[in-house]
Amino acid sequence: MEAIFEVTQRPNFPELLQTHIVLSVVSLLIAIAIAIPVSLAVRNTPLGSAIAINIGNVGRAVPSIAILALALPVLGFGFAPSLLALTLLAIPPILINAATGLKEVSREVVDAARGMGLSEAQILSRIQLPIAMPVIFAGIRTSAVQVVAAATLATFIGGGGLGELIVEGLQRSDTPVLLAGSFTIALLAIATELIFGGLERAFTPKGLRLARKKK
């Protein structure tokens, strides 16, 4: 353990950690900014929702390393191709869950709200989004954990991050360096899961939480 701790005291360790976090956070935010508006746009059209979900499923089927490899010829080595690849990786889970969550809001409830005179914006903000929010956040949580783990591969196209420690440990057969990188990434993934799990519970309407407990 002492040897592993010494690796975290290296002068470049904070920079590698920061790069890993920035890659993960920025790519996730861009993915949210793309996937959520698309889901909102197709929420009232069954065909549009089905298309969005199917596109998301196709995206999820593509391996992380393949996405990184596809970004390489377009943008070359460095931070930009890594960010692009991670964004493409982050979009499908959010798109699938957001489109599914909004699609599964009862049409009878929406029609009743519309009959009471609520505008489309009011129906979205007061009914559809609150009901779909747990499913949407579950997609964001899945995507966030996936991106934190996949950011490790960014080092293969010059994106930096904690993956450099893993590669160094493998190349030099240096177990402490390898474990330092692996443990830090694992801790980041666990922290991400806990943070977004808490946000998911916080944004779930009280009525839905009570209904889940009764079940």
- Residue pLDDT, tens place only, 176-185: 899 998 999 9
- 213 pLDDT exceeds 60? no
174: containing domain: 2-214
CB 90 within 8 A of CB 80: no
Q: Indicate the pLDDT class of residue 209, thresholds 50, 70 and 90.
A: low
Domain count across the chain: 1
pTM, two decimal places: 0.87
**SS3 state at 118:** coil
Four-CA torsion 17, 20, 25, 30, nearest 10 degrees: 160
pLDDT per residue over 106-148, tens digit each? 888 888 888 888 888 888 888 888 888 888 999 999 999 999 9
Q: Which domain CATH number covers 49?
A: 1.10.3720.10
What pLDDT score was predicted for residue 212? Answer: 57
Phi and psi dihedrals of 76, rounded to 5?
75, -155
CB 91 within 8 A of CB 56: yes
Is the alpha carbon torsion for 178, 183, 184, 185 positive or negative? positive
